[in-house]
Amino acid sequence: MNAFLEYLFVIALFALITLPSLVGHARDRAVDRQLREAAGRLESGRRAAASTAGAHGRRPAPRLHQGAGRDWGKAA
């Protein structure tokens, strides 16, 4: 009976030591799965946007604001 309790104690101690690691590993796998799903949604959204972007497959370049009286050329 004493040997059985010792084995039971060792198994319980092993479970207490490894349980946090196993829980963390399970959470990491869940986060990785969520990141893969989000990346897939982002990629499919980019493909849909590229198909409707126009003839060149991209959005037109934004117009740059010309500052009043600013000269960005060579310094005099």
Q: What are the boundaries of each domain within the chain? A: 26-52
What is the reported pLDDT for 48? 73
Are 59 and 53 spatial neighbours (Cβ–Cβ below 8 Å)?
yes
Residue that has been written with the tokens 């490894």 in this structure: 18
> Mean pLDDT, to the nearest integer, of 50-75?
62
CA 17 remoteness from chain centre:
29
At 5-55, the pLDDT tens digits run: 999 999 999 999 999 999 999 999 999 999 999 988 888 877 776 666 555
3-state secondary structure 26-44: HHHHHHHHHHHHHHHHHHH
Kindly indicate the confidence band of residue 58, based on its pLDDT and cuts at 50, 70 and 90. low
- Residue with more model confidence, 67 or 33: 33
